């Protein structure tokens, strides 16, 4: 996209890579974009190990993702995308910086960075840092990788196809 990013934290590289992917996807001009990533420890701090954070620039897109997740029993929670957080990723030497100021709102500032690359296309981001891995067995899953958001994505695709028929 030509957007310059000031790197303040080299451990926050995943959001820069995902931003590049979103920019390429936006070139394809899809009707909507839904992405999922184990993006921030901050989301896990906010929501724990069992709930994925959801961020959006389009409530209808988000509602479809949340409904699909709820239909298959996965827990998600929408977090705010207030414009105030845009200020935290402003940079004096680049277009944006890769992290906000300090630790507060880290999951939101990561999502705000990603939002810059979808060019207004309806978009929802799911941060699965918590639910992607179960450190111990739970009643609904053995320990290890959980496949978080796979079933909701299948359900979302099914619902989208059904709506188009």
> For 8-34, how does the pLDDT look when each residue is reduced to its tens digit (9 = 90+)?
999 999 999 999 999 999 999 999 999
Please give the pLDDT value at position 96. 97
Task: Give the Cβ contact number of residue 36 at 10 Å.
Answer: 20
Q: For position 149, which CATH number holds?
A: 3.40.630.10
Token pair listed for 32? 């909507």
Residues 114 and 35: beta-carbon distance below 8 Å: yes
Model confidence at 165: pLDDT above 80: no
CA quadruple 97, 13, 119, 75: dihedral positive or negative? negative
Please give the pLDDT value at position 128. 98
Q: With bands split at pLDDT 50, 70 and 90, how would you rate the model's confidence at 102?
A: confident
Closest to 113 (Cα-Cα) out of 36, 15, 39, 26: 15
**Averaged pLDDT, 135-145:** 85
Q: Rounded to two decimals, what is the model's pTM?
A: 0.93
Find the domain containing 97 and state its range.
5-164
Token pair listed for 57? 């620039």
The total number of structural domains that make up the chain:
1
Please give the pLDDT value at position 139. 79
């Amino acid at each position: 996209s030509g957007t310059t990013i000031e790197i303040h934290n080299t451990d926050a590289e995943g959001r820069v890579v995902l931003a590049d992917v979103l920019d390429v996807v936006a070139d394809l001009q899809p009707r909507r974009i839904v992405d999922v990533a184990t993006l921030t420890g901050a989301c896990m701090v906010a929501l724990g190990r069992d709930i994925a954070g959801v961020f959006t620039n389009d409530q209808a897109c988000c509602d479809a993702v949340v409904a699909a997740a709820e239909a298959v029993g996965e827990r998600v929670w929408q977090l705010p995308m207030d414009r105030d957080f845009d200020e935290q990723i402003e940079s004096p030497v680049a277009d944006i910086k890769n992290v906000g100021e300090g630790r507060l709102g880290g999951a939101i500032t990561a999502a705000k960075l990603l939002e810059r690359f979808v060019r207004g296309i309806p978009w929802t981001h799911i941060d699965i840092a918590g639910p992607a891995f179960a450190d111990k067995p739970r009643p609904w899953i053995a320990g290890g990788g959980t496949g978080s958001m796979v079933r909701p994505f299948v359900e979302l695709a099914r619902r989208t196809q059904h709506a188009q028929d």
